[in-house]
Amino acid sequence: MNVLLFFVLPASLVMLGVPIFLTLLVTSATIVLHSGAPMGGLQIYMFGSLDNFPLLAVPFFVLAGEIMAQGGVAHRIIAWIMSLIGNVRGSLPVTTVAASEVFGAMTHTAVGTVVAVGRMMHPSLRQNGYSENFSVGLIASSGAIAVVIPPSISMIIYALVAQQSAISLFTAGILPSILIGLVGAIYVIGYSRVKNVARSKTEQVATVWRTTKDASWSLGTIAVIFGGIYGGVFTPTEAAGVAVIYALFVTMVVHREVGVSQLWQILVSTVILVSQIMLIVMAAGVYASQLTISGIPQQIVETIIGLHLPPWLLLLSINVLLLLMGSFLEPPAAIMILTPLLLPIVRAVGMDPIHFGIVIAVNLSIGMYTPPFGLNLLATQAVLKTRMGAVYRGAMPFVLINFGVLLLITYVPWFSMALLGK
């Protein structure tokens, strides 16, 4: 009966199209009713899931990202990157990858990165000879880097659940983020050469000096956030608040591209997005608490350890599981549910919890553009008004490439642990 309640019921509800937060709440309520426990206990777990100081960083980072996404920051960053790359074959898709890395570090949301970079780059990619499949697949996959690149909201939630240092996770995520971007850039350059795509016309793009000057205030956001965190000036939560103030200053005072009326719209969209995230965190926290009480995680750990699988096969199996779950669940829900299940298992084979946090983040980032329900796929289709079939076909090469990168990050801990001195 436990298996039916904890796994079959929520899986059935998800396949029926029930929102994930409602699925988890209905499942948790059903479990409590079946156990005969008082329903009032659910309220304690609901509020307890949100009563954590590190979660304060989430609304601030989302607000800062919304301000920058609608304040002309994306345009300046893309122009700057394009001027640096210059007139080479493959410059447009490389710009898309690089802009997603930079913008993902500033906005911290994968969907926001898809929207901002996709709207800017998709017309240019199509006009310069890149197919629709390739263009939308590139945009969907590049936008997902926001799940991995610090300071990532997913890492903040993992730090909360696994009781690890958020700053250590941010540090560990730097090299894997660069590796993912580098491999993506190599692939798109190779694709451009094989397809013999014409060089993009960059003569009209401003000089490096002028674009750097124009983008300097926008790029300063990264210096403020990372410099403050790693310099020990403020915590990640405080950094999020500082990022909001800095973003408001840049967009309203320096560039004057956000007015009071637009700021109100930004606040409304931020409230909606933060509410969605917090609902998922709350519902997943309730479900995870019921799962822990049931003793199922301990049984799973004992069963898997009893199989005596080689560590490499165990980690491969966990990666496949995470990838599948990531294609159905939003990263916050997947982290809240799966971390208590999987962390004891990987610890048993000697994997560092920080390293595992990066593995989870990379898996869930790939899951966001894995068919059929990856969130970035749906966002790309909605924003770019293209056929879903084209999005699926375009994303698959990037899924396969980045799965290879994932295995490298999994089996070579150096990429995650080197900057931590481990």
Dump pLDDT digits (tens) for 246-273.
Answer: 888 988 888 888 888 888 888 888 888 7
User: Is 11's pLDDT higher than 80?
Assistant: no
Residue type present at position 239: A
Has this prediction a pTM greater than 0.75? yes
Residue 219: its pLDDT value, please? Answer: 79
User: Is 204's pLDDT higher than 80?
Assistant: no
Residue 385 sits at φ, ψ, to 5 deg, of 55, 45
Helix (DSSP H) and strand (DSSP E) numbers for the chain? 22, 0
Handedness of CA 55, 59, 60, 65 (dihedral sign): positive
- Angle between the 260-294 and 331-348 helix axes, to the nearest 10 degrees? 40
Dump pLDDT digits (tens) for 356-406.
Answer: 999 999 999 998 888 876 778 877 887 788 888 888 899 999 999 999 999
Q: Cβ contacts of residue 224 below 8 Å, gap of 6+?
A: 239, 242, 243, 246
User: Is 206's pLDDT higher than 60?
Assistant: no
CA dihedral 205, 207, 209, 213 (to 10 degrees): -30
- Output the CA–CA distances (angstroms, integers) from residue 17 to 37, 222, 244, 288, 322, in the order listed: 29, 38, 35, 21, 20
Residue 203: its pLDDT value, please? Answer: 46
Cα separation, 205 vs 80, in Å, equals 9
The tokens for 347 are: 């610890």
The tokens for 298 are: 């301990």
Residue 398: its pLDDT value, please? Answer: 93
Residue with tokens 């479990």: 31
Dump pLDDT digits (tens) for 104-145.
Answer: 777 677 777 787 788 778 888 888 888 899 999 999 888 888
Cα separation, 72 vs 250, in Å, equals 10
Cα separation, 251 vs 253, in Å, equals 6
Tell me the three state secondary structure of residue 307.
coil
- Angle between the 57-69 and 236-248 helix axes, to the nearest 10 degrees? 30
User: Range with the lowest mean pLDDT among 47-56, 229-238, 277-286, 316-325?
Assistant: 47-56
By the 10 Å C-beta count (0-12 exposed, 13-18 middle, 19+ buried), 393 is classed as middle
Dump pLDDT digits (tens) for 268-313.
Answer: 888 887 887 788 778 877 887 777 777 776 677 677 777 778 988 9
Cα separation, 144 vs 416, in Å, equals 18
How many residues does this entry show for the chain?
A: 422
